[in-house]
Amino acid sequence: MTEGETEGLPLPPGQRRSPRWRPSTYGRVPRLDPEAWTLTVTGATRGGGVHVLDRDDLDPLGTVDVGAGLHCVDRHSVTGLRWSGWRLRDVVAIAPPQEGVEHVLLVAARGYAAAVLVEDLLHPDALLATHVDGEPLTPEHGWPVRVVLPHLYGFKGPKWVVEVVYSHERPQGYWESHGYHPRGRVALEERWGYQA
């Protein structure tokens, strides 16, 4: 989309449009080898096993394009992005949680983590994204793979994701442990922990 086309897109409540997509990073940008990248699915998995998925496991799922903005909890939004990658609900189908498990910790390279619900991974627009606007993600924006959860604030979608941990208890990720909302739904302006 062109800048003019994105101007007309509606913004979620409390957000303002950002003229450009600036990277926001906790710590140093890791340099990961895309050929060696794997996603480990562990914790309360069905059968109790550990699943290590690589591109050979994920590529048969096929990739999809999802048009969605990126909404930061600090009130700025970038609209009109077109993400490409694997649907997270297909990844969950390959390596499902135990019956009744609701919670997930998404872990990124260098230890950053975000707490979400299994239902967030099942959202039809939830992706393990490798591309944006037809181009591979840059390292600053999460190359080789980042989580995209358009219905949640950006802090819920880690860049450089390497692990999915299913849990019977609600875990805390980095920002959740610093007072941010445990759910983070954009439409409901769930920004701060005291709102929970």
| DSSP string of 102-163, one letter each residue | -EEEEEEGGG-EEEEEHHHHTSTT-EEEEEETTEEPPGGGTTT-EEE-TTB-GGGS-BSEEE
In a domain, 10, yes or no: no
Q: pLDDT tens-digit profile of 158-172? A: 999 999 999 999 999
The tally of CA atoms less than 13 A away on the side-chain side of residue 134 is 1
In a domain, 4, yes or no: no
In a domain, 177, yes or no: yes
In a domain, 167, yes or no: yes
In a domain, 14, yes or no: no
pTM: 0.91
In a domain, 113, yes or no: yes
Averaged pLDDT of the chain? 91
Q: What is the pLDDT of residue 196?
A: 75
Q: pLDDT tens-digit profile of 76-98? A: 999 999 999 999 999 999 999 99
Query: In the chain, how many domains are there?
Result: 1
Q: What is the pLDDT of residue 26?
A: 63
Given a cut of 80, whether residue 12 has pLDDT beyond it is yes
Which residue segment(s) compose the domain that 110 sits in?
A: 34-195
For residue 112, what is the domain's CATH number? 3.90.420.10
In a domain, 121, yes or no: yes
Extract the tokens encoding 147.
């989580």
In a domain, 28, yes or no: no
